[in-house]
Amino acid sequence: MNISNDLKKTCNRYRKELFEKFLEVGQGHPGSVFSMTEIAVTLFHKSFIRFDELKNSFKDKIIVSKGHATVSLYPILRDFGVIKNQEWENWGKKGKDSILRVFGNTSIPGIDATSGSLGHGLGIGCGMAYLYKKKNLDKKVYVIISEGELYEGSTWEALLFASHHKLTNLTVVIDENSLIILGKTDDCLKLDPILKKIQGFDFDVSQVNGHDLNELENAFNKKTEGTNIVLAKTVKGKGFSIMENKAHWHYWNSLNPEEIEICRKEIGQ
Amino acid sequence: MKLQRDVFLDEINKQLEIDKDIYVMSADFGAAALDYTREKFKDNFIHCGISEQAMFDIATGLALEEKKVLTYAMGPFISLRALEQIKCGPAMMSLPMTILSVGIGLGYADAGPTHYATEDYACLRAVGGTTIYTASDNNIAIEIAKNTFKDKSLNYVRLDRHPTDEVNFKPNQYDFNDGFRIFGDCSENKFAIISHGRILKNCLKSLKQLENNFFLVDLFRSKPISKNLINLLKNVKKIIVVDEQTQYGNLTTAVQSELSNNNLFPQVKNLSLPDEYIFQNGGRDFLLQKYNLDEDSILNFCKKIL
């Protein structure tokens, strides 16, 4: 296991590694991956998602419902030894095979649900959490959704279910970077006030800076009477000025050598 | 006479007595037998609201934890409304699940096309890895229920809304694993009528009057189609497929496709609903007559092709 106590440095290391990997793979969704880096790091490295070393697997479940950002978990899962280093190394290299994909699926160790089409992950998480609650199992479920998934009706259907059954073992993180593919959510089709809408379900909602590790940790530690909802305000493409808050960086774009150099400098290479 | 859904769920209730890994989920669709499930097996019944999409996502979460899940709703809604959830959940993750769909074809006449499941077969057939069953009577509905959690596949089970006449077929006269039952003499150089579901009974009149020339296949498992059936169809003169679905992607195309995969190209005639949405009132049997799917129309069609 390659676990550091300095989680800010860990986040930075993952951004560096993922940036280099995007260059190799030549595709993917860096804007969304980098917006949830701190969220994923806090969940895994602060042991909200508990690791069983004997079984080399996690006791709790994580579903990245915004499946285009599942890639953000790969270096973490590699560091825990769940994904073999060779799989990570091979990914994106010509002539080499790897189980890793731009969208995660259940054939990849540590990926608990196949995702990619938006709006499914919360319902899946609800099913798991419902079962654990009914069976009194000490297992938790963390679902990361994008705010864009609030456009999907099935997300609201699942919220109804979570609220009705008071799924206290379920935490939903809404990664709110205010951008979807065609622009700002406010311009495309307004989602606000998200907080009020979610509170309307009688959920206890925390609003946090999604890049502040302490705020995230406090929100995940919060004792709630129902499902714990964390509204994490984030920056799409966080860490790279070329990408930050730019809708077109939802997808990977080719970079010229100067731009690559700028990116590398910004993350300290 | 009991409804297909009741005999099916009665069988599931029997299984629930000994298997607490079974979960029954409903998107607010009922049945007398389901009332019993809700009362007797409270911990194994989940009401999902009128939310077919979430029902499948939640069911996927349960299935990922190795539970045996049955999802239940009215045919048009459990199929098309939640098609992508079925694809991305149980189908894509290869999870066993039973999708119980009631009211196929024009079963909900005269509610109109919102309530007709006249293209559900095509849609679910296109989803990878599905096994599709259609019950023509209660006996076969019970057999499907007995087997549905055994095969660990994604089963789409199509039941009729209305009571269906038993077709007097004893269980030991066919092999459930073959997925079809034969009525009549299926020796060489005959005409074959293939159908499934309630409309099968409309084909029986043709069989009774033309039994020297025809035999009838109840294709209760239409995906995958058994190799044994294809072998049986090698030496038929012509095939008529009767289906209470619209033309594109219906049972006829399934039969033709399987024959073609086996390099067999007999003449296959399609008797089905038109490629349109039906708003006309008059009841199911009236509409079937209008679209030449009643007993006499099928008989006349068979006589013509003799």
pLDDT digits (tens, 9 = 90+) for B180-228: 999 999 988 999 999 999 999 999 988 999 988 999 999 999 999 999 9
Question: Average pLDDT in the B101-117 region?
Answer: 97
Instruction: Name every chain B residue with its beta carbon within 8 A of the beta carbon of A153.
Output: 53
**Which are the contacts of B182, defined by CB distance < 8 A and separation ≥ 6?**
B174, B215, B216, B217, B218, B232
Percent of chain A with pLDDT over 90: 97
From chain A, the residues in CB contact with B89 under 8 A are 120, 124
**Residue A234 reports pLDDT greater than 60:** yes
Q: State the count of interchain CB pairs (< 8 A) between A and B.
A: 88
Question: How do residues B242-275 score in pLDDT, each as one tens digit?
Answer: 999 999 999 999 999 999 999 999 999 999 999 9
Q: Supply the pLDDT for residue B168.
A: 76
pLDDT the model gives residue A4:
56
Tens-digit pLDDT profile for residues B156-190: 999 999 999 888 777 678 999 999 999 999 988 99
From its phi and psi, is residue A165 left (phi > 0), alpha (psi between -120 and 50) or beta? alpha
Residues of chain A found within 8 Å of residue B93, distances taken between Cβ atoms: 105-106, 113-114
Mean pLDDT along residues A51-78 = 97
pLDDT of residue B127: 98
- Determine contact: A157 vs chain B, CB below 8 A: yes
Mean pLDDT, to the nearest integer, of B15-34? 98
Report CA torsion sign: A179, A185, A191, A192: positive
**Would you call A126 and B57 a contact, using CB atoms and an 8 Å cutoff?**
yes
Predicted local distance difference test score (pLDDT) of residue B211 = 84
Residue of A nearest to B43 (CA): A134
CA distance A63 to chain B (A): 10
Hey, is the C-beta of A113 within 8 angstroms of any chain B C-beta?
A: yes
Closest residue of A to B81, CA-based? A154
Closest by Cα among B246, B259, B249 to B217: B259
Mutate to test the interface with A, among B22, B26, B64 (most CBs of A within 10 A): B64
Distance CA B198, CA B202 (A): 8
Mean pLDDT for chain A overall: 96
Residues of B with CB under 8 A from a CB of A: 43, 46, 48-49, 51, 53-54, 56-65, 67, 84-85, 88-89, 92-93
Question: How many Cβ atoms sit within 10 Å of the Cβ of residue B74?
Answer: 22
Average pLDDT over residues A18-27: 97
Joined together, the tokens standing for residue B101 give 């769909």
Subunit contact B65:A114, Cβ cutoff 8 A: no
Rounded CA-CA distance B201/B218 in Å is 10
In which band, very low, low, confident or very high, does the pLDDT at A144 lie, cut at 50, 70 and 90?
A: very high
A208 forms bridges with which residues in the sheet? A232
Q: Give the chain B residue nearest A160 (alpha carbons).
A: B49
Query: Model's pTM, two decimal places?
Result: 0.95
Domains of chain A from N-terminus onward: 7-266 (3.40.50.970)
B57 → closest Cβ in A131, A134, A158? A158
- How far off is chain B from A175, nearest CA to CA, in Å? 20
The proportion of chain B whose per-residue pLDDT surpasses 70, expressed as a percent, equals 99
Residue in A closest to B25 by C-alpha:
A127
B301 phi, psi to nearest 5 deg: -65, -45
CA distance B73 to chain A (A): 16
Q: What is the average pLDDT score of chain B?
A: 96
The pLDDT tens digits of the residues spanning B55-69 come to 999 999 999 999 999
CB contact under 8 A, B58 and A124: yes
Q: List, in order of start, the domains of chain B with CATH numbers.
A: 4-159 (3.40.50.970), 179-305 (3.40.50.920)
CB B145 within 8 A of CB B8: yes
* A116–B85 CB contact, under 8 Å: no
pLDDT of residue B64: 98
CA distance B103 to B82: 16
**pLDDT beyond 80 at A3:** no
Q: How many helices (H) and strands (E) does chain A have?
A: 11, 9
